[in-house]
Amino acid sequence: MDVAPGVAIAVRKTRIFYHVIRSTSALNEHWPLLRNTIVTLRQLEDRHTTPLDGPEVQEKIRTAKIVFPYGWRFRAPGLVKKHAEKIRNYFRPIEAHENSSRQMVDRLRRSADVVVGVHIRRGDYQRWKDGRFFFPASRYADWMREMAAQFPGRKISFFVCSDEPRNTGEFPGLSVGLGVGPPVADLYTLAKCDYILGPVSTFSQWASFYGAKPLLHFYSDNERIELERFHISDLDLIE
């Protein structure tokens, strides 16, 4: 269905739906609109995570038809595993992004046995967590060489996406294809690679889950590549 020009941009910039849900959940918490039908779950500050599939939460929402979770650290890895295919099908990208991501990886596979996706996130990471995950492109190039060394006798190609402009000259001696965006296309291209590398981020975590591909997150610039450290994400990242 078509929408008026500019509406989608306005919705994203104003985050109107987020503010509506946040306000509604706050009102419902103090003055229940429909007791036991609409339930607000507020993240407790003293908890690292709140399991949505835990007995405490399940009892509270047992009769609810609408639930408003308010907080970043709600998790339900067990339910994610159980309903993984339903979640993937629901978030399947539109055909244009599906095709562009497939074409990129297919192009890399023509000259490679293994395709590795690399997510280089810098932008906001320069300040977030005091720059803990802000790594230079040269460090990513070193990690990529370490990754290639894990597959002796095999040809490795890399798909590199970033929130900054990149060029293949930053990765000398490596076979590299660069993501050109939009971000959603890069996201689903990562999901089609055989392995995924990147700093701690929900972006690469979703790609790993959606594509069921092994992921390795970098927590410091001293990380070393070891294949046994890769795992498929269940969307349980907490940072």
Residue ranges covered by each domain of the chain: 7-75, 93-229
For 8-35, what is the mean pLDDT?
Answer: 65
Q: Which string of DSSP letters, residue by residue, matches 65-131?
A: SEEEEESS-EE-HHHHHHTHHHHHHHTPPPHHHHHHHHHHHHHHHTT-SEEEEEEE--GGGGTGGGG
32-36, 91-95, 222-226: least confidently modelled range: 32-36
pLDDT at 55: 86
66-70 vs 156-162, strand pairing mode: unpaired
Q: What is the CATH number of domain 93-229?
A: 3.40.50.11350
Q: Is the pLDDT of residue 225 over 70?
A: yes
Q: What is the pLDDT of residue 37?
A: 59
- pLDDT digits 0-9 by tens, 153-209: 999 999 999 999 999 999 999 999 999 889 999 999 999 999 999 999 999 999 999
pLDDT tops 80 at residue 10 = no
What pLDDT does residue 30 have? 62
> How far, in Å, are 16, 55, 119, 123, 190 from residue 209 at the CA level?
28, 25, 15, 24, 11
Task: Dump pLDDT digits (tens) for 99-151.
Answer: 999 999 999 999 999 999 999 999 999 999 999 999 999 999 999 999 999 99
Instruction: Say what the pTM is.
Output: 0.81
Q: Is residue 33 scored above 60 in pLDDT?
A: no
**Is the separation of the CB atoms in 159 and 120 below 8 Å?**
no
Give the separation between CA 140 and CA 137, rounded to whole angstroms. 5
Q: What is the pLDDT of residue 76?
A: 83
pLDDT for 35-46, tens place per residue? 555 666 666 555
Position 65 pLDDT exceeds 50: yes
Q: Is 21 strand, coil or helix? A: helix
Q: Between residues 52 and 133, which one has the greater pLDDT?
A: 133
The residue assigned the tokens 């995924």 is: 196
Average confidence (pLDDT) over 47-57: 79
